[in-house]
Structure 1
């Protein structure tokens, strides 16, 4: 019998894999959601666009709103970034695929602006330059498991005061494909941040999510996070986020 089918009822194993991934996310989200009924949390809707410029470069535009429940909108974010990667030499099919899951190394340089609707007429609350590098390696060929590491530096201008923040992120993800060829990628992620204002690794963020390919050009990524900050009590929060990604 083909490996694409399980013994019981001839059900495609890819559908079972997809079901298990969704059940895994539900196991994380449901108890997480029950906690939100009793405490304040953040909801983060985000829209991202990736515009291909060449085989080794692209433009990344991001926009996000942070909404504190049940209080309302607290912060908006918008950014423009330039990405560059290496052209695959031996795996030529990767030249048209998505960098996040197929390229081994890429760099990003960008600029982001943060503001609050409560500060009407006062301009952005923070302007930020971004430099980051991302590398990944396959942990398991058989199970399509990858480990992804990212090092990022934020050059921050907060109300005229300059500081830097160093961010290290580690991700473990598993790539799965359904019978229709669409990709589903559940992942877990941990990130730690060093802030020069405090000279300390003051913030940690732990995330579980799943990226779902809807079409060739569109992907949806729901996730849940827990954020801790030793220098800001208001930053010890639960977060629910959803990213809509467009690739052109």
Structure 2
């Protein structure tokens, strides 16, 4: 009889352990790309999205914040990207509205005059077009993944890649940046702190964080890689800038 009670007790303990494993601990991981552990948080705790790889149980009502949905994209080069769909197209927002940043993504902006707090985006919002700096209400959202600068596009959560035009000759001092459905093959983007840099094994430049913003005939602020010295011999109609990631809730 004692043996039977012990067996039953052991069975109940195992069942309790199995049930416990279905709930993540407080402040523990509850989601993310490749996560196979529990995805439910304790009572009065919620699973909060941090980035594509990590969500965490934090205090609060589960109804107030949920794990952001993700969409997986595989590029032509085999690179897998996890992108949260954005909550509506920037092209169709009410007048004056500004986008809300999705956790794990960044706004990118200039921080000096004459383009202070102008934000990186597509010339035609959310589309394959030139890379430009524009207003806060059309600010796009970005990640840098595997050397690619990626723009999240609504609706549907698809992505665009920043691509740099090839250098036609050694006399060319700037390279135009645009958005494409296929990845860039010329160089590599990265964040250094919050500063966006670009480098290429085939192109030498004195400063990897040097950009030019040049007005086109329609007044758009086109984005270029600056191959020359920052602040020296700036092409006519252009301004020298660095551009920076910003993770505030909304652009300001």
TM-score, shorter chain, exceeding 0.5: no
The structure richer in strand per residue is: 1
Bigger helix share:
1
Q: TM-score, normalised by structure 1?
A: 0.21
TM-score between the two structures when normalised by the length of structure 2: 0.21
Bigger CA radius of gyration? 2
